[in-house]
A and B are shown apart, each in its own frame.
Chain A
Amino acid sequence: MTASSAAATGRPLEGAEPRPAGGGRRTRGGGRRSRTARRVALNGAGLLVALFAAFPVYWMITTSLKPSGEIFSSTPRPLPAEPTLEHYRRILTGNLIPGVTFTDFFLNSALVAVATVLLSALVALLAATAVARFRFKLRTSFLIMLLVVQMIPLEALVIPLFLMIQRLGLYNTLPSLILTYLGFSLPFAVWMLRGFVAAVPKELEEAAAIDGASRAQIFRRILFPLVAPGLVATSIFSFITAWNELIFALTFINRQDRYTLPVAMTFFFGRDDTAWGPVMAASTLFTLPVIVFFLLVQRRMVSGLVAGAVKG
């Protein structure tokens, strides 16, 4: 709010710019008909936007449910005439390579993502408590570092991290990815959790302290349960980061049975002679958990990324 009003006073309303055509008083006296027309235009634009945004997701799911004949027909239908689960069955039961199934890749990805989430949540909660509950000398420096570090282009770290993974003997192992993703997700997790910790009323902690609770007890019994929803939200972001990541998984793992799902998808489906039915079925299975999780937390994403900019 302060930021906004500062910006507003910086630029006064009475500018020298000529009033553009179509503006001015004309719209003020608009009758009912013009108002209806405007409503129709706005809703029409809204539908177009919705169509553009949602179409690929819709098309992915629809395609995954069409029999191959319909997918490759010369006139595509908006919905499958004879919906089928054959592609899902093929993906889930068949081997993508001898001995390795889609489920194996799915489990690799899930293992990496869950391990990342747990480690990241623990470390982030400690750091967020420090930043939100204490005033200390390096606090501001740490916050600035968090911001700066989030801006490091991770793509530029592939080579040195590859070196580190080689040195540690972690090449071709899933922990190489867990470690990497922990580093990537932590700064944002601390940044976001900080707000949740700060939002817990300190009176609760003071009351507990007066009742004789120790610091550890206050942390476990008061702070932790109240921050838990924030912890869930933060964890979902870490999960999505780890689940979606491609470059590092592509670089650090060179054994097909240890591929994560994104690598397996580019490796087995990204070729030219693509069987789009199974690809769309696999894409749907990969995407759905992310969409569900994402919708649970997206509000916090905005406030986390644009920091204080939009806060009232």
Chain B
Amino acid sequence: MTTLTEVPETTAARETPARRRRRVDRLPYLLLLPALVVIGVLLLWPLGQVVVMSFHRLDNVRQLRGDREWPWVGLGNYAQILGDPFFWTVLRNTVLFAAANVALTMILGTLVGLLLNRLGRRMAAFVASCVMLAWATPALTGTIVWKWIFDDTSGLVTWAFNALPDGLSQALFGRTDWTGYGWFNSPLLFFAILTLVVVWHSFPFVAVSVLAGLKSVPSELHEAARVDGAGPWRVFWRVTVPLLRPVFGILVVLSTIWDFKVFTQYYVLAGGTQDRPTFMLSVYSYAEAFSPPPKYGLGSAIAVILTLILLVVTGVYVRMVLRQEEDA
């Protein structure tokens, strides 16, 4: 395991054990130093700083540059946010959106993973390549294309709805002409499309991970279950799911963390951060801080709340990974 530590024993056999140990001890820390500096300065320091900022009233860029004082407001920003009914709307949006997206991503991803496992080799390779395309596409351009698909004049969806027989369209939706229909205007429809975009982008990761998990399960277990008379449904719940539980656990946690702070897709679909009814925590924090008039303190407080929520989820995740590292 520790090759380089053993190296001096052969090259410098004359050194005393004590000297050797001292030299060996210092090297790994030197190697770690740059990484520790980067992580400390660029991740941990800002993490502490956002908490500090949340206790101050900061509404001017000059305060950030250090030209002006930072008035301390204690928990004032938090009191203001938690007392605002709008915050609770935002929190509800965030939680419901994340829950729906995690559930749909997991279901679709698992089904596709199972499907890939059963398809013939060529078909599986073809489907997997297509699934990879969705995963590889940057969130930004993926969302721009979906926006084009839902364009209100020449978008594909508008065209498809216009192509419905008029009677059917009238009976179902109460309109026949969909040109100019604002797909993004009602919050519910907006969230539905955002969900479509996010699930499209994130189910491939779940599918591929589930597939990798399935491949690592010895096929004898499934065969034994089948010989014992278990049907496919039962084999799935009684054999596959328990075997893949560690994978599922990590996938759920990672998806939760990702879907809680969706920003790029939101920004492109909503065309910025002005559409308050559809705000979620990350967007809310950003908009408070950077939309004029800037309120950096208030935005920081929202960011801290978001972080605290994710901290709980992260705790679960780290425990899971550590347990598996021990087992592996």
Contacts and interface: CB of A to CB of B under 8 A. Distances in A.
Contact of A133 (B5, B11, B34, B272): B5
A232 B68 CA distance: 46
19 contacts: A20-B231, A20-B233, A22-B231, A56-B134, A73-B154, A76-B156, A123-B34, A134-B24, A145-B39, A202-B3, A206-B10, A265-B141, A270-B272, A276-B154, A283-B144, A298-B132, A307-B321, A308-B327, A309-B209
B159 A266 contact: no
Interface string A186-211: 11001000000000001001100110
Contacts of B43: 149, 152, 157, 183, 187
- Kindly name the residue among A27, A74, A240 whose own CB sees the greatest number of chain B CB atoms within 10 A: A74
Contacts of B278: none
A148 interface: yes
Contacts, number: 402
B322 A144 contact: yes
A7 B11 CA distance: 46
A82 interface: no
Nearest to B245: A7
B282 interface: yes
B318 A148 contact: yes
B261 interface: yes
Contact of A160 (B8, B46, B306): B46
Interface of A: 1-4, 6-8, 10-11, 13, 15, 17, 19-20, 22-28, 39, 42-43, 45-47, 49-54, 56-57, 59-60, 63, 71-76, 122-124, 126-127, 129-131, 133-136, 138-139, 142, 144-145, 147-149, 151-164, 166-167, 179-180, 182-184, 186-187, 190, 202, 205-206, 209-210, 212, 214-215, 218, 240, 243-244, 246-247, 250-251, 262, 265-266, 269-272, 274, 276, 279-280, 283, 286-287, 290-291, 294-295, 298, 301-303, 305-312
B137 A287 contact: yes
B35 A57 contact: no
Contacts of B217: 4
Contacts of A158: 285-286, 289-290, 303
Given A135-B5, A269-B144, A76 B154 contact: yes
Contact of A159 (B2, B42, B50, B264): B50
A310 B61 contact: no
Nearest to B154: A72
Given A13-B225, A298-B208, A309-B247, A129 B31 contact: yes
Contact of B132 (A24, A202, A294, A308): A294
B231 A127 contact: no
Given A56-B149, A126-B31, A156-B50, A42 B119 contact: yes
Contact of B34 (A127, A144, A187, A209): A127
B205 to A, nearest CB: 7
A270 B314 CA distance: 34
Contact of B47 (A6, A152, A294): A152
A202 B156 CA distance: 57
A310 to B, nearest CB: 4
Interface string B245-289: 111001100100100110110011001100000000010011001
B229 to A, nearest CB: 6
A56 B66 CA distance: 47
Describe A's contact surface by its main secondary structure: helix
A270 B200 CA distance: 20
Contacts of B3: 133, 202, 205-206
Contacts of A134: 2, 4-5, 24, 27-28
Contact of A270 (B208, B238, B268): B268
Given A53-B134, A183-B39, A23 B242 contact: no
Contacts of B300: 159-160
A274 B144 CA distance: 11
Interface in B295-327: 296, 299-300, 303-304, 306-307, 310, 313-314, 317-318, 321-325, 327
A27 B39 contact: no
Please name the 3 residue pairs, one residue from A and one from B, whose CB atoms are nearest each other, closest first.
A23-B231, A183-B42, A202-B3
A74 B321 CA distance: 52
B35 A155 contact: no
Contact of B243 (A4, A122, A270, A294): A4
Nearest to A9: B242
B136 A265 contact: no
A25 B116 CA distance: 24
Contacts of B213: 4, 309-310
Contacts of A166: 61, 64-65
B318 A144 contact: yes
Contacts of B61: 166
Contacts of B44: 149
Contact of B271 (A155, A159, A186, A271): A271
Interface stretch (B85-93, B99-107, B122-130, B164-172): B122-130
A10 B239 CA distance: 11
B239 to A, nearest CB: 7
A54 B134 contact: yes
A3 B243 CA distance: 8
Contacts of A1: 216
A200 B76 CA distance: 55
B125 to A, nearest CB: 11
